[in-house]
Each structure stands twice: as C-alpha cells, then as structure tokens.
Structure 1
Amino acid sequence: MEEKLMRLLSLTMNVFLSILAMLIVIYMGFDLVNIFKLIFIHGDVGAIDSIADYILGFFMLFEFIIMTLQYVDDAHNIPIKYLVLISITAILRQLLVVHNNGGQTLLLTIAILILTLTLYLLELIKAKEKIRKNK
C-alpha cells in the first residue's frame, strides 16, 4: 500500500514538473520574442536595459529547467553542489545588473567567495569520504 502511494506521488510530481517545464519554455519563447522586438523592430538604444533584463530572465528560466531536469534524473534529489553553483551564477547575474553600487558589489563578491569556499569544502569532504571507503 505504501509503495503504491509513493509511486502515485512520484508520478503526480513528475506530471506537475513536466507541466511547469512546458510553461517555462513557453514563457521563455515570449521572452525571446520580446528581445527580438526590442532589438529589430524598435531599435531603441535606450532599450539596452530592457534587453539585458529579458536576457537575464531568460537564462534564469533556463537554469530552472536544467535544475528541474537534474532533479528528475537524480531520482528526486538535487545535490547541494548544483544549488551552490546556481546560486553563484545568480549572484554573478546580479553583479551584471547592479554594478554602480560599491557596497552592494562588495557584499555580492563576498557572497560569491563564501559559496566558492563552500564548493571547495564539499569537494574536500567528498574526497575524504572516498579515501575512507577505499580503506
């Protein structure tokens, strides 16, 4: 009984994740259309901020789809490494958008340093566990 319930929940979650992925892909298509409209139809030089916003949003959605696919491929488990890497890329994107505020840039840079150190520590722990298993 419990196994059937787990299968049903897993199937339901996969269906909803698939629907979410399709909706995100549709929204990404709208973003692409808006980018092309701003670049080719309007041709407004002042629209560069809008174009950058659409592009950054597009890549955020793209990463969300990648993360969802990784979640399904890894049997409904996302390794912490992927979450840290996604966080680093999101902060880097924020640095591209907000580059004229020195205090915020410093804080974002410190956040990237902390996340990078976290990745390094995760790799050290992984290597030590591998060595311990081989003994």
Structure 2
Amino acid sequence: MEHLKTTLKQFSFPFLLQQILNASLIFLAVILIYLLGKELIYFAQMTFLHETSLGEFLEKILIFFLYFEFISMIVKYFRENYHFPMRYFLYIGITAMIRLIIVDHHNPVHTLLYAGVILTLMICYYIINKTPVERPGR
C-alpha cells in the first residue's frame, strides 16, 4: 500500500509540470547547441575570408558567449537539483549589456546608462556572494 502511495505521489501535477519543464529545457539546449555550432562555422568563415569588420566580429563573439552561457545555465539547472542560480542570470545580463555597448555605442547617454546597468548588476552579484545562503533542508 505504501508503495502505491509513493507511485501515485510521483505522478502528481507538480511532477508532471517538472517533467514538461525538463523536456522543454532539453529541447531548448538542443536548439542552442545547434545555433552555437552555426556561430562556430561563421567564425571559421570569417577567419579564412577576412571580409568582416571588427565590430561585427566582436558582436558575433559576444553572441557566441551568450549561447554558451545559456547552455551552461541549463546544465547547471540539472546539476543543482532543478534550481537556477541567480548569479548565472547576472552573468548573462552583464554579457548582454556589454554586447549592447559594443554594438550600439553611438549615443553617449545610452552608453552611460548601459554602463550604469552593468554596475548595478555587478553590485547585485557582490551582494549575492556576500550574503550567506540558507536553504531549507540543508
């Protein structure tokens, strides 16, 4: 009887939602790996053809790292027992803002605001690292 209760508990609604989330993240990871591969092929073409500007090359490098960070975050999600560490979102935000500054640096006021966003994200990262982590059940 206890085994039946355990089995039924495993097929609860939260369990079903967790499985849907896991399958969706695996599907997303496959798509991101494909796009990461396309960026690597593009880098190879840029290296041999030399037909791109420095700005375009830097933009593609930062896009590559965004794909890489998202894939790393999905891997970390499964390793951390279905938990996204907040610092990974901060890493991605900082990288995205740096990419935006490199790509769109024509307006000094916008560049200053983007730098302020990066500073804010870095302060958040510092606070997260200095705050003791207290998780229930540990």
- Can you list the C-alpha shifts for 1:47-91, whole angstroms capped at 9, x where unaligned? 433333322211111111011111121122112222223212222
Measure how far apart 1:98 and its partner are: 2.6
- Can you list the C-alpha shifts for 1:19-47, whole angstroms capped at 9, x where unaligned? 2212211121112112222331x322x44
Contact 1:38/1:47, CA 8 A, preserved across alignment: no
- Percent identity among equivalent residues? 29
Cα separation, 2, equivalents of 1:85 and 1:14: 22
Give the TM-score of the pair, scaled to structure 1.
0.75
User: Residue 70 of structure 2 aligns with which residue?
Assistant: 64
- Gaps in structure 1 of 5+ consecutive residues: 130-135
Structure (1/2) with the larger helix percentage? 1
1:112-131 alignment runs, 5 A limit: 112-126=118-132
Give the TM-score of the pair, scaled to structure 2.
0.74
Measure how far apart 1:2 and its partner are: 4.0
RMSD of aligned residue pairs (Cα, Å): 2.3
User: Residue 32 of structure 2 aligns with which residue?
Assistant: 24
Contact 1:24/1:61, CA 8 A, preserved across alignment: yes
How has the CA–CA distance of structure 1 residues 123 and 32 changed in structure 2, closer, same or farther, with 3 Å as cutoff? closer
